[in-house]
Structure 1
Amino acid sequence: MKLTILGSGVAAVLAVSAAALAQVSITIGQPEQTRIREYVVKEKVKPTMIKEKVIVGATLPADVELQEVPDDWGPTVSKYRYVYTDDNVVLVEPSSRRVVHIIE
């Protein structure tokens, strides 16, 4: 019986972990995306070269320097970091370095 309970507990943990990994993207409204794009152009943010393909859910390499998100980007994205690459602003969860949104 203990083995069954332990098995159920492990299954529950795995189910929660899988659900957490599936939720790697965030939604950002069009006005916020425009504000972010305008910031990158106005501030002449230097693009970063990344060899790997950058997609939502991917993990960025440790050697990619993440920038702090400016306050005026709003509270929706304030907990993330960003990198500018290939004319896209890539929002990243800093602890996992996982890409959560790409603004084209």
Structure 2
Amino acid sequence: MKIQLAAGLLIVASASTAFAQDIIIAPEQETVIREYVVREKVAPIELPGDVQVTVGTVLPETTELQAVEAPDIDTQYSYIVVDGQTVLVDPGTRKIIHIMK
């Protein structure tokens, strides 16, 4: 019984870790997104003090997301610019999925 419980907790912990990892963005996609963001000239924003810019963080509803509308990108992303970094966000969950440095 203890072994099964420990194995179950290990599986749950592993799954949680996997969901918190960066989404892999191909270098070509990152280049297209970076060029799009520069072209759009979106002003950087300041997040509330209790919100950390880390993969997996859910952004508050008050944070205005910008859509990536680049024809070369087949996945729907949104983004914000914070402290000189482009932060990709899943628009459905508002979770940070990738931080471009």
Give the TM-score of the pair, scaled to structure 2. 0.70
Q: What is the identity, as a one-letter code, of the residue corresponding to 1:92?
A: V
Amino acid at match of 1:61: P
Q: Is the radius of gyration larger for structure 1 or structure 2?
A: 1
Output the amino acid matched with 1:85. Answer: V
Q: Report 1:82-97 matches (<5 A).
A: 82-97=79-94
- 5+ residue gaps in structure 1? 1-10
Name the SS for the 1:23 alignment partner.
Answer: helix
Aligned length: 92
User: Map of 1:13-28 to 2, 5 A cutoff?
Assistant: 15=12, 19=15, 22-24=18-20, 25-28=22-25
Percent identical among aligned pairs is 39
More deviation in 22-31 or 93-102?
22-31
How many Å apart are 1:35 and its aligned residue? Answer: 2.0
**RMSD of equivalent CA atoms:** 2.6
Residue aligned with 1:60, SS: coil
What are the ranges of 5 or more consecutive residues in structure 2 without an aligned counterpart? 1-7
Corresponding residue for 1:70? 69
TM-score by length of 1: 0.69
